[in-house]
Amino acid sequence: AKMLRFAVFAIVAIGHAAAFSAGAGGTVPLATTSGAASNCVRARVKRTLACSLSMSNTPALKSIIVDEESMLKEQNFALAPAVLIQKSKNFLESRGGFGADPALLADTFQFMGPVVGPLSKDAFVTAIGGVDMKTAFPDFQGEFYNFHVDPFEGNRVWYTARGRGTNTGPLKPFTTTATDMPLVNPPQACSLTFDEEGLVIK
């Protein structure tokens, strides 16, 4: 009997929902009855409608998928994405993927690695120049791909770095003996950040 009475009250409440359009503080007319069931239904209907009104006033959220093309246009950086990508490739090719031509680095350059860094321009050039990769891995083949400009930072180019080779010589200054073992680098996300002159600052 209670379940039937609740169903009747709910149907009546739906039929009178238009009366709530005056505002969240209004009341919804229900069939005249007595008992706790009536108060319970009335309270539930008011809570449901109030929740519905609250949700309807919530601003619509943007898509979680970023519109990269539109965001890149809004960045309006001095150098176009295609130019930045080509400069990134030139940077990597200048020293075979290990370091870079110092002329391509801004005076304010900083190297930021997951373990090493920050290093200034001079410290970076000195550190990279002290590692003899050609002797240690004469057959090393760098693999760089997936170049793209960051839609949130219009002067930053991201790319993926891999590489493979065989350690057939000493890796000075770290070791004087070769392991004769193959090396396969896992994919690593790397980036280069440029100033408006096209020099790398990070």
Buried b (16+ CB within 10 A) or exposed e, 119-144: bebeebbeebeeeebeebbeebeeeb
pLDDT at 7: 43
- Report yes or no: 135 and 172 within 8 Å, Cβ to Cβ: yes
- Report yes or no: 161 and 143 within 8 Å, Cβ to Cβ: yes
pLDDT in tens, 107-134: 999 999 888 889 999 999 999 888 889 9
Q: Is the pLDDT of residue 56 over 70?
A: no
- The first and second tokens of residue 158, run together, are 């991201």
pLDDT at 21: 40
Helices (H) and strands (E) in the chain, counts: 6, 5
pLDDT at 46: 60
pLDDT in tens, 63-90: 999 999 899 889 889 999 999 999 999 9
pLDDT at 112: 93
Confidence (pTM): 0.69
DSSP state of 37: H
Please compute the mean of the pLDDT values over residues 31-44 and round it to a whole number. Answer: 54
* Residues ≥6 apart with Cβ < 8 Å to 50: 24
Q: Is the pLDDT of residue 9 over 70?
A: no
Strand partners, 141: 164
Query: What proportions of the chain, in percent to the nearest 5, are helix, strand and coil?
Result: 40, 20, 40
